[in-house]
Structure 1
Amino acid sequence: MKLALKIDVDTLRGTKEGVPRLVELLKKHNAHATFLFSLGPDHTGRAIKRVFRPGFMKKVSRTSVVEHYGLKTLMYGTLLPGPDIGKRCGDIMRSVKDHGFEVGIHCYDHIKWQDYVVNKDAAWTQKQMQLAYDRFQKIFGEPAKTHGAAGWQMNVHALRQEQHLGFTYCSDGRGTHPFIPIYNAEIIACPQLPTTLPTLDELIGVDHITAENVATHVLSLTETPPPTGHVYTLHAELEGMKLAGVFEELLEGWKQQGYELVSMQEYFDSLDKSNLPHHEFIMGEIPGRSGTLALQGNPFLA
């Protein structure tokens, strides 16, 4: 049974410090993974505006934002100019690919995408995706084949653009199994491989779950594998830094449970593409995360 590892890289610090650490851990455990990079400016400090979002302060109060992201990162885009991650870290990104890992697009400007894309029009959305697509090609010398939305935030224009850009598959939302997305009865011909497991920052601080026992909790969720396996999203700023020990516990536990730890492309290659179900692609809420995000909805019955 396969468990795909999807690594979201949100910040300059996560790229410089978390990514190399994750490469080291993955190679140590002979695990494959897909790294999705933020390719433009780091404007993490502008996330302060989320203070007015329901549930945001509750989440912040139980996860040490300063500890995980660093004070300097939290000033980028406000008190400090936002550094261009792609320009400063191209060598690190290319080294990930050179080590044999799949690479793809997370976004161009993480904060801009996560905070605004849901309500933006086609022109705005296409511009942001094109900026990321062009920067990826400049860094790697080849076009990207996959995209995983920042903050699991999407709109219909982004879905259409993924189809237009010819992505092999994408992983933009949360759900239970791979599917072909349907938006208002419109088929989007780019399969979605949703994240199937909760993230560490959604779990720690809830129901007596701590950094010390969260790995045990996640492993309890994967004890009985579903027919199509799992997709686990981790973050370079968390599992690649302060929570690296937790991630190593997970790697060891998943191997003991019999999972093959694979990239998203390897996971996609193992699927029966001719028989993927059609599901609605909706926005909704999940436990542990503030606001709404892209979700796998009900099966679509024509």
Structure 2
Amino acid sequence: MKLALKVDVDTYRGTLEGVPRLVDVLRRNRAGATFLFSLGPDHTGRAIKRAFRPGFMKKVSRTSVVAHYGLKTLMYGTLLPGPDIGKRCADMLRGVHDDGFETGIHCWDHVKWQDNVEHADAAWTGEQMQLAADRYAEVFGTPAKVHGAAGWQMNAQAMRLTQRLGFSHASDTRGTHPFMPVQNGEIVLCPQLPTTLPTLDELIGIDGTTEDNVHEKLLALTARPPAHGSHVYTLHAELEGMKLLPVFERLLTAWREQGYELVALRDLAATLDLPSLPRHEVLRGEIPGRSGTLMLQGPEFLA
């Protein structure tokens, strides 16, 4: 059984502080992982616009956003200029790759992508993805092979670009097992490795779940072998890499005890037989514990 660890790095602080801590913990636990980086400006403060989204303020109150992200981060892009993550942290990003971890693209501007891509046109979408692809190639000296969208937010053009930009695999969706995505009847030849497990911020504060027992909720979901042989767990440099690092360490130990091999997305992708991979529609829908809609693995496409 494989459990792939996907690390979303959203912010400048998460890159500087959370990523090195996660690298250390993963190396000590002999675990693989995929780090997906935000490569442009950190404009986290502009997420204040989400206050008007149904359910957003309730989620904020559950997960202590200030405690996890820090007050300074919450002012980037408004009261403070947003630092350019890819420029300021290039050496650190390369160091993650040099330590043997898979690296890839999360986005260019996290807030801009997450809040606008659903209704964006092809030109805007292409520009944002190209900015991230160009910066990745500038930092690492080679094109990115994996993409994992900020907030699991995509549109039809973004799905097409996962193929056209040459990604060998992507993790832009939530679902149950690897699949070849179909958007509006169009097959995109870039396999999706969807996140199969809930994130910590989706669980904490629901049904008596706290930071002290949230790992138990996740371990109950992984106790039995997954029907399709693998799981993908998405963690965040700003959460598991900082205040919730002890929770993550408990998960790593327990997942090994449950019999899982902890791997990067590329290790999971390497096991796929692409010609026989099922094709599934990609649909927009809701996930418990998360505000708004995101991209979900839909029904199998049989046409």
Q: Percent identity?
A: 70
Runs ≥4 residues deviating over 3 A: none
* 1:1-302 equivalences in 2 (<5 Å): 1-226=1-226, 227-302=228-303
Q: Distance in 1 between matches of 2:30 and 2:188?
A: 35
| 1:2-57 per-position Cα deviation (integer Å, ceiling 9, x unaligned) | 00000000000000000000000000000000000000000000000000101101
1:11 corresponds to which letter in structure 2? T
**How many pairs align?**
302
Using the TM superposition, give the Cα deviation of residue 247 of structure 1 relative to its aligned residue in structure 2, in angstroms. 0.2
2:272 corresponds to which letter in structure 1? L
SS in 2 for 1:106: strand
2:250 corresponds to which letter in structure 1? E
- Where do 5+ consecutive residues of structure 1 fail to align? none
Using the TM superposition, give the Cα deviation of residue 273 of structure 1 relative to its aligned residue in structure 2, in angstroms. 2.1
Q: Distance in 1 between matches of 2:207 and 2:302?
A: 37
Q: Distance in 1 between matches of 2:79 and 2:241?
A: 26
2:114 corresponds to which letter in structure 1? Q
- Output the TM-score relative to the length of structure 1: 0.99
Q: Distance in 1 between matches of 2:199 and 2:291?
A: 13
Q: Distance in 1 between matches of 2:273 and 2:161?
A: 24
Q: Distance in 2 between matches of 1:185 and 1:95?
A: 41
Using the TM superposition, give the Cα deviation of residue 291 of structure 1 relative to its aligned residue in structure 2, in angstroms. 0.2
Using the TM superposition, give the Cα deviation of residue 301 of structure 1 relative to its aligned residue in structure 2, in angstroms. 1.8
Using the TM superposition, give the Cα deviation of residue 217 of structure 1 relative to its aligned residue in structure 2, in angstroms. 1.0
2:268 corresponds to which letter in structure 1? Y
SS in 2 for 1:279: strand
Using the TM superposition, give the Cα deviation of residue 270 of structure 1 relative to its aligned residue in structure 2, in angstroms. 1.6
2:265 corresponds to which letter in structure 1? M
Using the TM superposition, give the Cα deviation of residue 271 of structure 1 relative to its aligned residue in structure 2, in angstroms. 2.1
- Where do 5+ consecutive residues of structure 2 fail to align? none
**How large is the Cα RMSD of the aligned pairs?**
0.6
Q: Distance in 1 between matches of 2:148 and 2:161?
A: 13
SS in 1 for 2:256: helix
